[in-house]
Amino acid sequence: MAYLTGFSFDDFEKVLQDVYGERAGINVEVAEKAYDYCRDMEKVVVLDSVGGGRPLVSGNEAVALGAVSSGLDFYFGYPMTPTTSILHFLAEHKDELGVEVVQPENEIAVVNAALGTAYAGGRAMAGTSGGGFDLMHEGFSLAGISETPLLVVVGQRAGPGTGVPTYSSQADLRSVVNAAHGEFPRIVLAPGDHRECYLHGGLGLNLAWRFQTPVLVLMDALLCESRTTCELPVDIVGVEEAVYGCEDGYKRYLDTESGVSPLCFPGTEDVVVKNSSYEHDEGGLTTEDPDRVRSMQDKRLRKQKGVEQWVSGDVGVNVFGDSREAVLTWGSTKGSVLEAVRMQERDFMVVQPTVMKPFPSSRLKEVCSDLDTIVCVEANSTGQLSGLFTEKTGIEIDEVILKYDMRPFRPRELKERLGGV
């Protein structure tokens, strides 16, 4: 196969050396004989190279590398399909990537360790699945009221309960968008391919620190664990500095116009840094005074306006093609939809929201308000994106195509279902 697909033997030998290490010798000898045998064969078709090499990554690896590009210091994870390989990947490469990797005893410990790290000034990310994130809800709400930067990757798998743990689903959208008790700003990103996983890993960490609020990257098992070659947007993502300030009389929750208070960390000389899970005043002291409670709630919600301004314009929605008929989709289903649309004789525009909270309503209204037909395609049984879209835009979906047998949409199957619309 190496010969038939145009691999030079030198490149193939390097692969064998990487895989087998000290045990590569006999494998290299056998491979070389087979490779030489193919050279003497008649009617051999050698595929032309498509160009230079590109990274071969899973979605989990891509989101991890994106976070690293934005200055990730610590990763906390408890093994739970389908995000376990983030833990494995970062642990294997922690020295070269400069990341500390910790496996605490459960998901409650994971989220609280990540919050403690951020409180001390370290950029942290956690990874889990639906059931694990359920255990993180109290910590997620703690991040909201304490205004602690937090990035969590949630990989959807088939539920409820333990469900079908090694298969994919898109049934956690509503759960994640509305996660945890109380009202506080949060951002939910939903990549649809490996390039977007990388982008959202880095963007998510930067946004968490820009707005001092919890951010979720919502993926699914198919996207988490599938591998592909792709160009990662390394020139787009970088470390974005947060708002810092440690003046005399420092107030952790200083009431600012934007709602974002200057950050300072424990250990700073002559400064007291007080975070709290209770409602508090500007200095972090617990309060039950109604005016102060209302003031702090208003302050946190002002950050939501900043997030909504960020998601305005073209941010948060990808549009492919131009037609009076559109397919609305999200997550890994994007790939099957794009391929199925290419097979169609009818022209469909594909619309893919990549930010689920705050929902990019203005952009979606602009794109979808005058269409003749909108079809929503997603991998759950209740049409969660369809319902969210109508709730936030007021635009009705004409047809919903669902699949919830835990297997991905096959493009030819989807082509037939779209053809019947």
The residue written with tokens 């899970």 in the block is 277
How high is the pLDDT of residue 11?
A: 83
pTM over 0.95: no
How high is the pLDDT of residue 38?
A: 81
pLDDT tens figures, 280-291: 999 999 999 999
Tell me the fold of 317-419.
Answer: Rossmann fold (3.40.50)
The span from the CA of 231 to the CA of 62, in Å, is 10
**SS3 call for 387:** helix
The span from the CA of 189 to the CA of 55, in Å, is 23
How high is the pLDDT of residue 42?
A: 59
Are 219 and 59 a contacting pair, CB within 8 Å?
yes
Per-residue pLDDT of the chain (421 residues; tens, 9 = 90+): 777 777 788 888 888 888 888 888 888 899 888 888 887 765 456 666 666 678 899 999 999 999 999 999 999 999 999 999 999 999 999 999 999 999 999 999 999 999 999 999 999 999 999 999 999 999 999 999 999 999 999 999 999 999 999 999 999 999 999 999 999 999 999 999 999 999 999 999 999 999 999 999 999 999 999 999 988 887 777 788 888 888 888 999 999 999 999 999 999 988 999 999 999 999 999 999 999 999 999 999 999 999 998 887 778 999 999 999 999 999 999 999 999 999 988 899 999 999 999 999 999 999 999 999 999 999 999 999 999 999 999 999 999 999 999 999 999 999 999 988 8
Query: Which residues of the chain form CATH 3.40.50.970?
Result: 56-229
How high is the pLDDT of residue 247?
A: 83
Q: With 0-12 CB in 10 A as exposed, 13-18 as middle and 19+ as buried, what is 300?
A: buried
How high is the pLDDT of residue 51?
A: 66
Query: Which residues of the chain form CATH 3.40.50.920?
Result: 317-419
How high is the pLDDT of residue 49?
A: 65
How high is the pLDDT of residue 15?
A: 87
Are 228 and 57 a contacting pair, CB within 8 Å?
yes
How high is the pLDDT of residue 376?
A: 98
Structurally, at CATH architecture level, domain 56-229 sits in 3-Layer(aba) Sandwich (3.40)
